[in-house]
C-alpha cells in the first residue's frame, strides 16, 4: 500500500472563464486562473496519485510552461496520471478530497464530481466542501484550495 497527498490552489480569474471542478462546469460562478482549465480538484487528485506512486508531481509531467497544456481539460490530465500510475504497477483503492472555498457551494455538485472522478480514477472518491469561515484569501473569496489523499495498492 502507498498513500499520497495532493494540494492545489487557484485564484479566481478576472477573465470570462468557466468554473470547472472535478470536470463539472458550475454555472454562474467565476472561473479560476490557470494554464489549463484550472480544475483544482483534478489537480490535487492527480498530485495525490502521482505522489503515492512515487512518480513526482503534476508540474513535472504537465508543466505550465508547455503550450501543449494551455487550456487543457484537467480530467484528461487526470486520465493520463491514472495511466502512469497503472503502468508503474499501482491502482487506486480510494481517494478522499476536501475543497476549501466560500463559494461555490460544493454539496449541490458533489454527486456529479464524485461520479466523474470515480469513472476516471477507477475507485471510490469522496468529495467534501469546507469553508474558510471568512479567514485569509480563501475566506475573502479570492480563490479555491483543494486537498486530496489517495490510497494505492499493487
Could you give the percent of the chain with pLDDT greater than 90? 100
Burial of 48: CB neighbours in 10 Å, binned 0-12, 13-18, 19+: buried
Q: Structural domains in the chain?
A: 2-153 (3.30.1330.50)
Instruction: Kindly state the cell numbers that stand for 125.
Output: 472518491
**pTM score, two decimals?**
0.98
Residue 7: CB partners within 8 Å, gap ≥ 6?
44, 47, 145, 146, 147, 148
| Cα atoms in the Cβ-side hemisphere of radius 13 Å centred on 148 | 31
pLDDT in tens, 95-127: 999 999 999 999 999 999 999 999 999 999 999
Amino acid at each position: 500500500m502507498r498513500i499520497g497527498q495532493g494540494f492545489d490552489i487557484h485564484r479566481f480569474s478576472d477573465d470570462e472563464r468557466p468554473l470547472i471542478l472535478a470536470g463539472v462546469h458550475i454555472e454562474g460562478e467565476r472561473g479560476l486562473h490557470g494554464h489549463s482549465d484550472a480544475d483544482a480538484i483534478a489537480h490535487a487528485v492527480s498530485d495525490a496519485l502521482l505522489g503515492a506512486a512515487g512518480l513526482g508531481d503534476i508540474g513535472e509531467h504537465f508543466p505550465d510552461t508547455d503550450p501543449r497544456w494551455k487550456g487543457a481539460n484537467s480530467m484528461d490530465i487526470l486520465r493520463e496520471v491514472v495511466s502512469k500510475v497503472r503502468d508503474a504497477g499501482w491502482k487506486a483503492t480510494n481517494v478522499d478530497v476536501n475543497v476549501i472555498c466560500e463559494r461555490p457551494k460544493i454539496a449541490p455538485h458533489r454527486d456529479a464530481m464524485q461520479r466523474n472522478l470515480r469513472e476516471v480514477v477507477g475507485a471510490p472518491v469522496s468529495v467534501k466542501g469546507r469553508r474558510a469561515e471568512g479567514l485569509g484569501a480563501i475566506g475573502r473569496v479570492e480563490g479555491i484550495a483543494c486537498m486530496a489523499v489517495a490510497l494505492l495498492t499493487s
